[in-house]
Amino acid sequence: DVGFKQDVPETQNIFLEDPVMVSVLERYLPGNVLQEISPDLVQICEWANTEGAVLYTRMEEDLPRLRQYDSWCRRVDELLVTEAWTKQKEVAAREGVVAIAYERKYGQYSRIYQMAKLMLWGSGGGLYSCPIAMTDGCARVIEVNGTQEMKDQVYSRLISRDPKQFITSGQWMTERPGGSDVGRTETQAVWNEENQSWSISGFKWFSSATDADVTMLLARTHDATAPAGSNPMRDGSRGLSLYLARVRDDNGKLNGVRIHRLKDKVGTKALPTAELELDGMIAQQVGDTYKGVKNISALLNITRIYCGMGCAAAMQRFVLLVKNYARRREVFGALLKDQPLHLATVANMELQYRATSQFVFYCVAMLGRTEVLDNDLPEIKDRDLPLLRFLTPILKAWSAKNAFAMSQEAMECFGGQGYMEETGLGRAMKDILVNTIWEGTSNVLALDVLRVMAETGGDALELYSEVKEFQIALWHDTETVRDIIAPLKNRAQWIKSAQSIEKSLEIISKHFAT
Ligand code: MFK
Ligand code: FAD
């Protein structure tokens, strides 16, 4: 075993190593809050490097499985998740990754603390961030729209720090006819007088975290008062209501759910994403009838911010690892860090990471304010609420595309070894890629931005240029601001000018002709 051995790139304590995160937190948090939470942020990185690293590896090596039949051919639909996955749930409770945001010990700053901790927890928590995101969103929906019983029995457990009490939630929206266009939902909810609950039947095409304890789901509501012979349901998304259901009872028996199969995905392999048939699932309605999409949007907006946070976290790890390797790898007589072209590549990555984390925490700070301060205050009603509504889809769409592009750049920075599965970069790339699809594809989010513009009667391009503070938050980096704006600007203009399909086809053919 002779010859050259390359020094192994490594990160130690990400929070202590990364000046970017500290500077962002200094910008948004009062000094005493940062001082108080810093030991916890150091601690979670230590956990991620020790127990977290072991759990992460086990979760990736020992994937979830579905046992559909018992030995006597009885349908059991047993979802087998690994011990490491189950342990993550315990850790998530203990570390308060959801609780921090709802205990609100630091008022409006609690969201910032929570998201910073989640960013650092991710290198050990891995894809358990997915159920955590949906759990957080579900807690918010119940807080805003749930009944007192839901608050006492479900919300209190979603935000618990006690591993024995803590439960997680799923988010079942997507069906075979449409994931973007949920107005095509086939699932139906019928009122059951006998047990005073809704009975839900249909087919959910994507359910991540199928091991969740409860779930939020959309279904088409039957109107029991509709005259006989008439259609008791309304068409489109305006016929959908939001429901909350337990996935299993206390004995682990599924609540009217059949797990058809686990999805064979490109990435996110540790996450048990399944196809589910619902047959008489017992559920409670959340919020007003036919307001399902509106009512679930509080959840959507939180999970979309989680996507941005997850992208920033991946970028943070890439940048730190790439910089570390550049200090260890020698080429043509100099370390990579002293090769100007490599340095320029890494500098560009760092800039992208800085812009993304500024963007994430700008939104998170607004989220915290809107959750804690009186929504009738002019700065919340006229500024934070509309701005957050406007920026959330942009953050999600932009960070997803950028993080994926950066994963490719990071892989290249390690040369041939970057392409080897054992370095984990390929897996990270495949996992990041999903952010362009789940929680709304880029074009669907671009349309969402246009909807906000239409609702506010404003013109997007002007609105962008008015967001001075946002531009300042991006370190006066006009290039980056242009980067964010340009693709959406193009899409916005495209859609504005495309009055009809014929018109779009005309534009497309002109585009390809030039
Ligand atoms: C670390 C990261 C972890 C993340 C974990 C994620 C795991 C994966 C989970 C999933 O992928 S779950 C499935 C996610 N699915 C989507 O994101 C659906 C994408 N499609 C859309 O977002 C569509 O734009 C939408 C379904 C909302 C459009 O439906 P419609 O039928 O065109 O609805 P419509 O009529 O425009 O909106 C209904 C109401 O909701 C309107 O309000 P009003 O009733 O007052 O008029 C809208 O303004 C409102 N609304 C829609 N989107 C909103 C919203 N309000 C606030 N925020 C939003 N985002
Ligand atoms: P479609 O909506 O059919 O989209 C196909 C294409 O059409 C896309 O390029 C889209 O951008 C484009 N498009 C759609 N509408 C328009 C338009 N108006 N104008 C222009 N272009 C348009 N869903 C859940 O509900 N719960 C989950 O837990 C969940 N987990 C997931 C986990 C993974 C790993 C993945 C990959 C998906 C998951 N999803 C989940 C589903 C996900 O949210 C949907 O796949 C996504 O919203 C897109 O819906 P679709 O697959 O039906 O694609």
Complex ipTM value: 0.99
Task: Give me the CATH code for the 169-290 domain, please.
Answer: 2.40.110.20
Reported pTM: 0.93
For the chain, the helix, strand and coil percentages under 3-state DSSP, each to the nearest 5 = 60, 15, 25
pLDDT at position 263: 97
Ligand 2 atom, smallest distance to 172 CA: 25
State the Cα–Cα distance between residues 475 and 371, nearest whole angstrom. 26
pLDDT at position 355: 83
Count of CA atoms in the C-beta half-sphere (13 A) of 222: 16
Question: What residue segments make up the domains of the chain, in order of their start?
Answer: 1-167, 169-290, 293-514
CB 107: neighbour CB atoms within 10 A? 13
Give the residue whose CA is nearest to atom 39 of ligand 1: 294
Q: How far is CA 228 from CA 223, 225, 325, in A?
A: 11, 9, 72
Phi first, then psi: give them for residue 510, nearest 5 degrees.
-65, -40
Which strand (E) or helix (H) includes residue 217? strand 214-221
pLDDT at position 352: 86
State the Cα–Cα distance between residues 56 and 84, nearest whole angstrom. 8
Give the residue whose CA is nearest to atom 49 of ligand 2: 179
State in Å: Cα 168 to ligand 1 middle. 21
Ligand 1 atom, smallest distance to 304 CA: 4
The model's pLDDT over 406-424, given as tens digits with 9 standing for 90+, comes to 999 999 999 999 999 999 9
Low-confidence residues of the chain: pLDDT under 50: 459-461, 465-466, 468-469, 471-481, 492, 494-505, 507-508, 512, 514
Cross-strand bridge partners of residue 376: none
The model's pLDDT over 83-126, given as tens digits with 9 standing for 90+, comes to 999 999 999 999 999 999 999 999 999 999 999 999 999 999 99
Closest CA to 125 of 29, 49, 19: 49
Percent over 70 (pLDDT), the chain: 88
**CATH architecture, domain defined by 293-514:** Up-down Bundle (1.20)
pLDDT at position 209: 81
With a 6 A CB cut-off, is 306 part of the ligand 1 pocket?
yes
Ligand 2 atom, smallest distance to 208 CA: 28
Which ligand does the CA of 504 lie closest to?
2
Contact (CB, 8 A) for 460 and 450: yes
With a 6 A CB cut-off, is 307 part of the ligand 1 pocket?
yes
State in Å: Cα 436 to ligand 2 middle. 9
Instruction: Calculate ∠ Cα 484-486-488, nearest 5°.
Output: 80
DSSP string for 243-303: EEEESB-TTS-BSSEEEEEE---SS-TTS--EEEEEEEEEEEEESSTT-HHHHHHHHHHHH
pLDDT at position 473: 45
State the Cα–Cα distance between residues 148 and 154, nearest whole angstrom. 10
Give the residue whose CA is nearest to atom 30 of ligand 2: 208
Residue to substitute in 128, 134, 180 for testing ligand 2 pocket (most ligand atoms within 8 angstroms of CB): 180
- β-strands 214-221, 188-192: how paired? parallel
pLDDT at position 112: 98
DSSP string for 408-441: HHHHHHTGGGGGSGGGSHHHHHHHHHGGGTTTS-
Ligand 2 atom, smallest distance to 441 CA: 11
